[in-house]
Copies of this chain bind each other. A is one copy, B any other.
């Protein structure tokens, strides 16, 4: 507990000041929070304490996760389900391009840099590049007030679909490798169950959530106490996040779905009674917890293990494949929407890429780990580069698009 208090005391004000500084330099505030995290995570280089244990602490992790959940809930609230479904087909197209191209490019990098290894290892490398981590993008869109643009909706929708596709790909590739290693047959049933759960969650959130939530909130009006709607909304967000985890998806996908399903009209009566609207009462919560998430993400960057000369070539090629693979999403942008914004918005990998890499480190093929320490270090390089490059690049693209075609 004392450690958590001290960490929070530093993070809350440090992140705010760093955010204000980078905003003054024309960058999104999130970049400052990542920088604070990198600094805290590498204090040992300057003779300071090693905070790796703090980063891994359960309480700190949960606070950071709650920050990400509340952020995506807040972003979800800014769109309606109808608006998202209107761009659904396009988002699906973007997600497919953003999964297939990085897989192919990653496979190619594997063939080039790890010749003679099994094609399955190369496929895993490709799969590792396919996941999008939407936290950074959502935050940049929020920092720049661009959440309500059509480009933002396409990116956010594609990121949700991407999470489902990534889950399925991981299951299939890992299944194929495990099958080859043990000689057992690939369990098509197991993969089908994974797909079904994910699709059931999304369909359930959309159909039942959209049907049930207006009735639920109508019923809650009977309780006249202050803050009932806020409490119900938060519970709804946490419950859907939990269900997303149950379905094998990221909790933030559930939080985003919760935000989409809830609409301001449910809270009209409360606002008329003088209560604060929901999105406003979320601000103090996200103000405290969201920086914890991004500072913690920054602490991921362990500078010595990240700058390893012997893997630099491999790391750079992998990163190029990761970036170009997601930029390809630009071709799927509809007329009048900035392809550049979409390509850059899909770019960050965040911790999702590392989860893939960690699973690969556990998988054995021909007596060796599918993801060896060199590949793991290259994956970390790829994750860190795409994450840190996104805020400035995406901010530039959004401002450029706003100047060219004022997006409603």
Question: Chain B contacts of A266 at CB under 8 A?
Answer: none
- Of B16, B20, B242, B283, the residue contacting A9 (CB under 8 A) is B242
| Distance (whole angstroms) from the CB of A201 to the closest CB of chain B | 13
Chain A contact residues: over half helix, strand or loop, or mixed? helix
Say yes or no: A65-B235 contact (C-beta < 8 A), given A228-B16, A281-B283, A281-B284. no
Asked if A8 CB lies within 8 Å of chain B CBs, one says: yes
Q: Is A272 an interface residue (CB 8 A)?
A: no
Contact mask for chain A residues 275-302; partner B; CB cutoff 8 A; 1 contact, 0 none: 0000001111101100000000000000
Using CB atoms, name the residue of chain B closest to A14: B235
| CB-CB contacts below 8 Å: A94-114 with B | none
Residue of B nearest to A62 (CB): B59
User: In the complex, are the beta carbons of A242 and B6 less than 8 A apart?
Assistant: yes
Q: Is A385 an interface residue (CB 8 A)?
A: no
**Interface readout for A74-108 with B: 1 if CB under 8 Å, 0 if not?**
00000000000000000000000000000000000
Q: Bound state CA distance, A282 and B1, in angstroms?
A: 21
Interface size on A, residues (CB 8 A): 50
- Chain copies in complex: 2
Residue A171, interface by CB 8 Å: no
**Most chain B CB atoms below 10 A, which of A4, A17, A282:** A4
**Given A223-B17, A225-B19, A238-B12, CB of A5 within 8 Å of CB of B245:** yes
Decide: A230 and B287 in contact? CB cutoff 8 A.
yes
Chain A, residues 215-238, CB within 8 Å of chain B (1/0): the string is 000000001110110111011101
A1-B245, A2-B245, A234-B288 are known contacts. Are A16 and B58 too (CB-CB below 8 A)?
no
A246 touches B1 (CB 8 A): no
**A242, B5: Cβ atoms under 8 Å?**
yes
Report if A391 contacts B (CB, 8 A).
no
Please encode chain A, from 354 to 394, with 1 for each CB lying within 8 Å of some chain B CB and 0 for all others: 00000000000000000000000000000000000000000
Given that A16-B228, A62-B63, A223-B17 are contacting pairs, would A235 and B284 also be in contact in the complex, using a CB cutoff of 8 Å? Answer: no
In the complex, given contacts A1-B62, A12-B234, A59-B62, what are 17 additional A-B residue pairs having Cβ atoms less than 8 angstroms apart?
A: A1-B61, A1-B65, A1-B245, A2-B245, A2-B251, A4-B62, A5-B241, A6-B239, A16-B223, A16-B227, A17-B228, A29-B225, A59-B63, A230-B287, A234-B288, A281-B287, A282-B284
A–B complex contacts, Cβ < 8 Å, 14 sampled: A1-B65, A1-B251, A9-B236, A9-B239, A13-B232, A17-B223, A20-B224, A20-B228, A23-B225, A29-B225, A62-B62, A231-B287, A281-B283, A281-B287
Taking Cβ atoms with an 8 Å cutoff, the residues of A that contact B are 1-2, 4-6, 8-10, 12-13, 15-17, 19-20, 23, 29, 57-59, 61-63, 65, 69, 223-225, 227-228, 230-232, 234-236, 238-239, 241-242, 245-246, 251, 281-285, 287-288
Ordered nearest first, which 9 A-B pairs have the shortest CB separation? A20-B225, A16-B231, A9-B238, A59-B62, A13-B235, A9-B239, A5-B242, A58-B58, A281-B284
